[in-house]
Each structure stands twice: as C-alpha cells, then as structure tokens.
Structure 1
Amino acid sequence: MEDFLIVFNFNLILDVRTCYFPERWEGTWFQSGVRQSILIEGPRLSSKGRCVGSEGDKFLILDEKKTCYRCVVIHEKHINVLQYKETYCHSREVLPTLCGLITGDALLYSMFRENAVPIPCPFRGPFTFTYNRGHGECRYPVSSIDTCIEESKLLLSYQACPDVHGSESAIEELQCLALWKEGSSRYLVGKIYHSHVTSNEDRYRCFVYEKASAASEALDGVDYRVAQSGDATCNGLFSATEGSRTMTLKKALPLNKCRFPYWIANSNHWHTLDYSSTYSFHHKNSTLRITNSTGIDMKVICVQLKQATRDESAVVLITHFTMGCQNGYICIAFYRRDVHVMEMQMGAQTNRREDACNPGFFDKSTLPFVTLVTTTGETQHCPFMGKFEVNNLIQNKQETSLNKYSQREEPKYFDSNFYFRKERRSIYFEELEYTRRRVKRVDEDFDCDSNGVSTLNIGCVSYDTMEFTMDCTAPNLITSYSCHGRWEENGTNFLITSPVGNSAFGVRKFCFMYKEVISGVMFSTSAESCNRLIKPGITGELIFNISSTGKCFDTDASIRTQPINAWLISSIVFSSIVWVIQTSR
C-alpha cells in the first residue's frame, strides 16, 4: 500500500469551524472491528467526530466529547471503498505538526460501503481452479467457478481433497463491489454468501488478482492467480500469490453449442398466453432467456440435439441453464403448432448432462405443456363458419387464473371469456388487463334468459372473428374474439384467440379447446396454457356446447326483401314500355 507521509500545517485553518466530506462519500460504511455502521454525512464522521479543516485527502477531525483533534488521511480507492490512516487524538497545541505524526507503517483501515451498487466481476467463468489454505495445494478433485445471470456475481464450488488438511467442500457466492489498481497489483472487494456467513465480518473479503502471462497461459493453461484476505480487511495482501487462501484459475472447456429450431428464430420474442413469462432467443439462436413477471431470469444454452422430426417441427434438446447462480442441465422439447404458436415441455434440473433426457428427469407423457405465442397480431381463419346456438354455458367454480389478477370482491369482474351466472342473473364482461383493462358492465337489475341461451357467429362479420351474443332484456352484449392459430392432437382441437380490438402489445390470449361430437361441438377454455388435463365440454374455466343453426346470411331478411325487389322490377318494366311508345311516335 502507499506510504502516508504527511506534513500539513493547520495554522491557516484554525479559524475554520466546519468542512465537508465529499458528497459521494455520504452514506453508511462497514469497518472490521467496529460494531456499529460508520456514517459519513456533511461534516460528520460518526465514529471520529466533526471535520473542522481539510486540504486534499487530509482532514482535521474534532472529537467533541474528548475535546481533542486527530488527523485522518482518507484515500478513495473506489466509490465503494475508502482506506485511511490516522493519528491519536491530541490537544490543540500539536495541530501544526499533527499530520506529520502519521508514519508509513501506521495501521491502514478499510471501510466498505454498505448497500453498495455491485459492479461486473473482473473475470467471467466458467473456470476450474486449485486452491491452497496454507496446508498444501488442493488439486483433485478440481474446484470450479461458474458465471451467474448477474455479471456482478460468481459461484465458487470448493472441493475437498482427502490428502490436504484444511480443504473442505463448500459453495460460495461472490458479489463484486469494487476494483482498483495499485502499482502492479489489482484489487477486488466483494461480499461472500454461504451457509455459515452470519455477519459482515464474515461476508466482506479483499482479493488481489493478476492475469497470467502469455507464456504461463500457454505452458500450463493458467488464466488468473488470486489471493484472498482472511478477514474483512485488505491488510497483508501484497501479491496474487500471498494470502489466507490462494487460487489458480484455468478456463474451463466451453460448452458445445447447438441451435434452437430455425422457425423459432423467425420471431425472437415469445410469451405465455397471460404474459406472465417472456422467452427471448439470442446469440445466433443458441441462447434462450426466460423472464417471468417477478423478474427472475433463466439463461438457457442449447447444448445437444437429442431428437428431431425431419422438418424440425418437434425437437428435443439438452440445454444448460443458469438461474441466479444456480446452474445445471435441462431437457426441453419444442413443438411448432402454427406460424405464431409453439409449445414446450421442460424437464427437471440435473447436474449431469447425460441424465437430462432420461425418463427420471424428462417424461413427455406426464410433463405439462407451456403454450407460447409471438407478439404479432396476425390472425387466421376461425374453424367452422356460420351461426351456432350455445348451450349449457358453465363457469367452473374452482379458482381460475383470473383470480390471480383480479382480487376485487364486489363486483366480480370476468375475464374476456364471459361467464353466465344464473344465481346472480347478471353478466359482467371484462377483457382482463394484464397491461390494459377495459370493462363493460350491465346493471344487476337487468335480467337475462334463465336458460343462458346465447349465439355464436363464426366468420360472419370477418373470416377471423368469433362473436358471442347473450340474449338479455338489456341491450345485447357481444364478445368478439380473433383467431390466431390452431392445431389438432388426438381428436382434440386447440385454438388460440384474443379479444377483438385489443391487438396491442401486452394483451393476453386464450386457448379454446374443442372436440366434435354427433350433436355439435364441445368447448372449454383456459387462460394460461392449452392444458391437456382439460376435457372439452366437461372441465375447464369456461364450458359450453354449440350446435349449428344455419349459415351466416339471414334467411328471414332475404324473404322480406322479395316484395321490394318485385316492385322494383315492375317499375323498371313499366318505364321501359313508356319510353318505347314515346320514341316510336
């Protein structure tokens, strides 16, 4: 560390009663051996007193309790690290030479900012490493460093060597807080998290590291050498080969990468029907990032193609995942259902790549499907075409996914899948706002047909639209859906829809599941995914059956227009006869 040889005359500032520390230093700080947090605020250094004079990095501090002065020389190593040396507290008489009392070998103190904003770590894994705690090098089994989702964190996995005393298996998470260079040495301050950490004394650690020379890297593959302090200070760290623990890092073998199916790359961003999770594909279609509504991220790298159909419409992949600082392997299956619709099945996590797609971790027959759609608003032809009668409209009384988003007790708003409630004899319609909300309500006094009869028009207004109409004494409510994609599986059809007029980004979509029977078509709906456990017409969030009542054109209206058409034809014929007679004259 630098020498603190100071000669400073305070005679010129004796009449100055207050000085201020730099604003960027303000906040609370941790110092090893000090039980309470140190507060720097304005002129006050809580553990020392009040600043009454300063020049550069030298500060004259008045201890108002003891009525004595001390010289404190503070060096900012990083916005999150301050180091200082100080004198004992002296009377006013020694002020002219007070800072000269600090010698080069005076004790150096380190203060680390509490609640500091983390910084990217200076090296990124994965690495393998050996370590030494003073009892010999622990070489086998080899330890490892893995990257985390956040660039400010590393995961260190220590292995115990049976022939090395003091080596032990442990997993530590390192969060990087500060970096600086001093001479030829580079310093890192971080916080360590593991099961035995109970206080900041155990949590803060200082490191010295150096990049290995090109010759050393070529000879034995060493990338970095690192030394770690034994306590929450930077004392005793002078080189990357001396410390309470020393480590030698080598770059781990990179993962073999494959690519996700080509059709996924046609749209880089996919999301679940309710927008609770987003799936983004990056880095030449080899990396997937999954983000859910709580902000938790998972990074997934394609490692190996396990199975695939000839057109790649269905593939099974071994992938490597990182979530926070946790990592391992997952088997994932992708299925192309339509141009803008796909589904996936994700297996259980494992540390062994070869186990990922084994039946114990990945079983297609039992794993749920996650339905994903693109952000595009493109529509397609709806199934069937014509007018239908809706029968046996039932809302599943079990808690639906709607309740997760709408917690209001009264009135009970309904999702854009409208629900009919006979006991309340009222209708509420809601296009559930994941990012936007639009609500239409009919007063509870308006009575609806007790049988809940409604009609469904498919493709009558537009080829890509379905319209529901409830028969109520109040003005009819029409709920319209756009069709986005569909497919068939084992006799059950799946249709992705969205409320008409809500094509903006962020509006959720729905899965309609239906099966054709002799009497008509049985429907069920789901607001989260196309759940295979739902039986159309029997279970689901909304259950109803439809039967055809005719084609889209209104036959009654065509009959009513016949007299008008006859009158028009007669008028034309009569006018033509009159014109012929007149011209013949």
Structure 2
Amino acid sequence: MDVPWTSIFIRFVLLLFVLEFTSTFKQTGTCYFPERWEGSWFQSGVRQSILIEGPRLSSKGRCVGSEGDKFLLLDDKKACYRCVVIHEKHLNVLQYKETYCHSRELLPSLCGLITGDALLYSMFRENAVPIPCPFKGPFTFTYNRGHGECRYPVSSIDTCIEDSKLLLSYQACPDVHGSESAIEELQCLALWKEGSSRYLVGKIYHSHVTSNEDRYRCFVYEKASPSSETADPVEYRVAQSGDATCNGLFSAIEGSRTMTLKRAPPLNRCRFPYWIAGSNRWHSLDYSSTYSFHHKNSTLRITNSTGIDMKIVCVQMKQSSRDESAVVLVTHFTMGCQNGYVCMAFYRRDANVMEMQMGTQTNRREDACNSNFFDKNSIPFVTLVMPSIDAQRCPFAGKFDITNLVQNKRETAAGKAEEIGSGSFYLRKPGRSAPFRRVKRLDEDLDCDGFGEFVVGCSNYYTMEFTTDCSAPDLVTSYSCHGQWEENGTSFLITSPEDHATYGSRKFCFIYKRVVAGVMFSTSAENCNRLVHPGVTGELVFNISSKGKCFDTDASARAHPINAWLIAFILFSSLLSAAAATR
C-alpha cells in the first residue's frame, strides 16, 4: 500500500525539527533554568532537597538544551540523557514528568517517550514566601476521613493575624471512627487554577508533625453556589491530599480528607469607651507598643516594637461607671494563630492619659471576667498616652531641697508579669515583684558639699527643674507635666524631658506622696507601677522639702547644691536603662 505523500512530508518536517533540536544541544552545550526557579525544593520521597541552580537540576543532571517547557538533561555520572517536562503552577510549585535516562541514540525521540499518563511529580519551594489564604474565617466545618461525616461537635476555622495562616480546630465525633480532636495551623503557599478546579498548597503545623513529608499538603477547593443551599448555606468544599503530593486530587469532594465549610455566626460587638476615640492611636510610655482603635471603635490592634501583633474585638460590656471613665469589657483576641477571650479594663486618668488592665486568656466567653482570670487587685496596669499630648500645670509650685537621692538598680522589672505562652507578651498573669537592690547614697562622694534644688512651676507653670549653682550653674534638667491623678493617697504624674517634649517622645511616670516633712518621689519608666513605694523603691528615689515660693530669693534659705551634671546623668540614665531592661 502506497504511503500518501502528505504523510511522508509531515514525517520529513518532523525529522528536520528533531535534527535541528538536537543540533542546538550540540552547539550550545548548556542551557539555564529560569532564574525565578532557583533555590531549594522539596519533593515527596526524596530525602535531600532538590537544588535548581543555573543549568543544574540537583542529581538529575545538567541542562544541555531546552524548548519551551521541555528540558534535556545530561547525567554526567551515568553519561546518559533524560527529558524533563516542567510546568510552573505557581512561583512556589513546580510539577514535572520525565523519562528514564537513555543513551544518546534516543535523543531525537526522547521527549516523545513521555505519555499523558506518566507519573506527575510535584516540587514545593522550601522557605517559600507565604501568600494570603483564599478563604478567611471564622468558619464552622464538618469533615470526613473515609469513615463517615464528623458533624457534631462541629469543628472550626479561624483566621490568624497573618492572612497567610488559618487555624483549624478538629473535634472528635464519638460515633465516627478515625475522628480525633486536633489543632492544626495551615500556612498557605501557592494557588492556581486547573480547568474548573482550584488548587492550594500549604504547610500544616501541629504537635505530631516531624518532617516535610507530614507538613506539605495539597488541597482542591470550590466555592459553593449561593442558590443551591439556602437554609444553612455551604460556602466552600475542600478536599485534602493524604501525602505531600497533589496526585489523585481532582475534585473538592474526593480526597484523603474532605471538609464542608460554613460561615460561622459573627461575634456580638460592643464599643470601647467614647473618650478613647478622641485619639484612635495610643502609646505606652516608652513608645514600645502602639494601641490603635478601628472599625467604629469596636476593634483594637496592639503592635509591639518587635513586630508582634494582637487584634482585639469588643464583645460585651460587663461593668461601666456612669460617664464610662472606667469600664470592664469581655473581648475576643487573636494573636498569631492563638485566639480566645480575655477581660480588659480601661480607666480614664486624664484628658490624654489612660490605663489598661488585661486578664488571662480563656476559651469560654463567660469565664473571661471571672476572678480566676481577672483580678483587678493583682493585675499590673499599662499606662497609655496620646501621641500628641499638651503640657499641663504641674501639681505644686515652689522651690524645694532634694534629700536622700538614691538610684536603684534592678535585675528585672518590679511586678513584671509572667508571660503566658511562647512569644506572648500581652496575655499575662501577675508575677511576684522583683526586689530592688539598693546602691550607695549619691551624696556621699560628691564634689559639692550639699544637695541640689528642685524647682516646680517657676519658669512656667508646666515644668519641673533640677537646678544647681555648683560647677555648672546654668545647667537645668527640666520635665514637662502632662497629666496627673491620685489613687489612695498616692499621686501619679506623667512627664517628658522638656528638650524632647515633642510628638512621639517617650514619657516617664513620677510617683509621689505628700508627707509632713515634704514630698516623697519615685520614678517609673515603663508604667505607673503600683508596686513602687514613693521615696523607698523605684528607678530613681528622692525626697523634697519646701524652701520657699518661686519669688523667694533669700540666699540663706538656699540649700547646698548638688553637681548638676550628675543629677542629669543619673535621672536620664536610670530611667532609660530601666526601660531597656524591661523590654
């Protein structure tokens, strides 16, 4: 039977193409993989990481020719060739099919040996940059691992602070074999669409995960049609692979584990006190933490200088004074992938100053403000100020002698709270106060033969000054007064160094108590610490006694001055070093 000329012509053209393809290999001798593929990759069943670098694909060989997604690799050790067809599904996912390693004689037809049903391998980028997950909680869900649907108790999905993570809380159903209680954290790494199916690759973290074989998983998901189920609408259907591949995963209703996601009922929301909204942003005294209020004053976001975030939603008002200057709230928090309920109290201390107390976490909303989780008498206060805070009149005016000036060093912050959980510095339980270590009195070996002067409200109504006419008579260390309040006979005064009393400058808390002989002072750099006893403990301790009003100039009433540079150095260094030690 004669072969049609058209068939002969087609075969001839194909032969020319193959010859040209192979001759290109001979001429170039090398080719390079796309630069964006470079790095280390994980593949299930392969012990070591697969490295793509320049022309090399780890142990598979060196690229000697390419066309489109086809790459011809030379295995230098075995002196043989293989064809690898690589498809980029996502920047973090490569899938490929390959031939066995063959001799040079099969080069013209090597890539033709890859059939449609050849085994598909998946490679997942190690140390990949995460991506936002395709669905955001909260959800409730049921799941099936092949032994029946686990419907009750219902499982849940919560969105983490990072939108690239989800927290899956599986519940065990007593009537379903293979169901178990577990908490898994899913980090989303790649998304792509293939036909009508949408794929997700992620890493799963839980207590039993020990290797990447257990960590990487592939998912197929679909968004349910809103009109199909209206009584209790399903939002997503999800199927999960049973290993670190995407093999055998073709639809959202077939997989090693299938899940049906429904939108969880929203949290009931309350609002934070109206006066907090006067500034949607507050700061700790040392500016290490920022408290931002959002979404109609119902959401709070706390950001630490280390980058740790905490999101808090107001859920229920538990107690409130008539003017809302003091409130106790039940709130829902999310920090990383940790979430639950916590009781919080807010106190308006002055127009630009407030304090906050936060209890310990609980999974039950009704327990949050119980005494086991929230005890006002033992929880430390966090002092917060607005970013732009006006100076106010200082509490008393006049000139005062300084006595018993003492700098206290401490190994840890007094009353610093113990941290609950790894990396959690917001959710705290009260700790025992660390003892202060008393150092020598600073007036024992001064060059000057006396104490300095403390002047309040004389230059203007808003400043406190340490002055001297010793070796540096013109040196004045001044503090601006910003806000004050009194509590059980002890007063608290928020100040800032006058040279730095600008937007965003750190503040200090002066804690004082009036006595017959004068006023006993202590300072605190991080918060207005209730464990500090004025004139006894604190970062800087000193007492003052009146020597006259601002307009008195009688030199005989003037006490022996202290060396001003030493006062300035002690005051600044003690407060700043104490603040650094507590971070």
- The answer to whether TM tops 0.5 is yes
Matched-pair contact (CA < 8 Å) for 1:149–1:323: yes
CA distance in 2, matches of 1:62, 1:504: 67
| 1:147, distance to aligned residue in structure 2 (A) | 0.9
Pair 1:32-2:44 in alignment: yes
Q: Select which of 18, 22, 25 maps to 1:14.
A: 25
Letter in 2 for 1:220: D
Task: Write out per-residue CA displacement over residues 413-462 of structure 1, whole angstroms, 9 at most, x where no aligned residue.
Answer: xxxxxx99538836xxxxxxxxxxxxxxxxxxxx133x5x1111111112
The within-5 A match list for 1:484-499 is 484-499=482-497
> For the structure 1 residues 401 and 281, does the alpha-carbon distance in structure 2 shift closer, same or farther, using more than 3 Å as the test?
same
Aligned residue number for residue 533 of structure 2: 535
CA distance in 2, matches of 1:139, 1:313: 46
| 1:297, distance to aligned residue in structure 2 (A) | 1.1
CA distance in 2, matches of 1:494, 1:146: 41
Aligned residue number for residue 312 of structure 1: 324
Matched-pair contact (CA < 8 Å) for 1:448–1:471: no
CA distance in 2, matches of 1:99, 1:339: 76
| 1:308, distance to aligned residue in structure 2 (A) | 0.9
> For the structure 1 residues 139 and 208, does the alpha-carbon distance in structure 2 shift closer, same or farther, using more than 3 Å as the test?
same
CA distance in 1, matches of 2:25, 2:530: 82
* SS of residue in 2 equivalent to 1:265: helix
* SS of residue in 1 equivalent to 2:378: coil
Task: Write out per-residue CA displacement over residues 333-370 of structure 1, whole angstroms, 9 at most, x where no aligned residue.
Answer: 00000111000111110000000111111111221111
Q: Select which of 498, 517, 520 maps to 1:519.
A: 517
Q: Select which of 101, 108, 116 maps to 2:128.
A: 116
| 1:212, distance to aligned residue in structure 2 (A) | 0.5
> For the structure 1 residues 270 and 336, does the alpha-carbon distance in structure 2 shift closer, same or farther, using more than 3 Å as the test?
same
Letter in 2 for 1:169: S
Task: Write out per-residue CA displacement over residues 267-289 of structure 1, whole angstroms, 9 at most, x where no aligned residue.
Answer: 11111112222111111211111
Q: Select which of 158, 161, 166 maps to 2:173.
A: 161
Pair 1:294-2:314 in alignment: no
Aligned residue number for residue 425 of structure 1: 445
Aligned residue number for residue 257 of structure 1: 269
Pair 1:276-2:276 in alignment: no
Aligned residue number for residue 339 of structure 2: 327
Runs of at least 5 residues in structure 1 that lack an aligned partner in the other structure: 1-5, 405-418, 427-446, 558-585
Structure with max Cα Rg: 1
Task: Write out per-residue CA displacement over residues 288-311 of structure 1, whole angstroms, 9 at most, x where no aligned residue.
Answer: 111222221111000111111111
CA distance in 2, matches of 1:476, 1:535: 32
Structure 2 length as normaliser, TM-score?
0.85
Aligned residue number for residue 454 of structure 1: 452
Aligned residue number for residue 182 of structure 2: 170
Structure 1 length as normaliser, TM-score?
0.85
* SS of residue in 1 equivalent to 2:522: strand
| 1:47, distance to aligned residue in structure 2 (A) | 2.3
CA distance in 2, matches of 1:89, 1:186: 34
Aligned residue number for residue 62 of structure 2: 50
Task: Write out per-residue CA displacement over residues 540-580 of structure 1, whole angstroms, 9 at most, x where no aligned residue.
Answer: 222222122112124359xxxxxxxxxxxxxxxxxxxxxxx
Letter in 2 for 1:142: V
Aligned residue number for residue 468 of structure 1: 466
CA distance in 2, matches of 1:341, 1:173: 38
RMSD of aligned alpha carbons? 2.0
> For the structure 1 residues 424 and 176, does the alpha-carbon distance in structure 2 shift closer, same or farther, using more than 3 Å as the test?
farther
Matched-pair contact (CA < 8 Å) for 2:404–2:441: no
Aligned residue number for residue 382 of structure 2: 370
CA distance in 2, matches of 1:541, 1:266: 32
The within-5 A match list for 1:52-71 is 52-71=64-83
Matched-pair contact (CA < 8 Å) for 2:226–2:233: no
Runs of at least 5 residues in structure 2 that lack an aligned partner in the other structure: 1-13, 417-438, 556-583
Matched-pair contact (CA < 8 Å) for 1:31–1:112: yes
Matched-pair contact (CA < 8 Å) for 1:401–1:527: no
Task: Write out per-residue CA displacement over residues 464-515 of structure 1, whole angstroms, 9 at most, x where no aligned residue.
Answer: 1100124644556421100010011111111000101113444321111111
Letter in 1 for 2:518: G
Q: Select which of 89, 92, 98 maps to 1:86.
A: 98
| 1:325, distance to aligned residue in structure 2 (A) | 0.5
Matched-pair contact (CA < 8 Å) for 1:209–1:224: yes
CA distance in 2, matches of 1:98, 1:352: 63
CA distance in 1, matches of 2:444, 2:195: 79
CA distance in 1, matches of 2:544, 2:508: 18
* SS of residue in 1 equivalent to 2:388: coil
CA distance in 1, matches of 2:479, 2:520: 18
Percent identity of equivalent pairs:
80
Matched-pair contact (CA < 8 Å) for 2:388–2:502: no
> For the structure 1 residues 61 and 505, does the alpha-carbon distance in structure 2 shift closer, same or farther, using more than 3 Å as the test?
farther
CA distance in 2, matches of 1:371, 1:257: 25
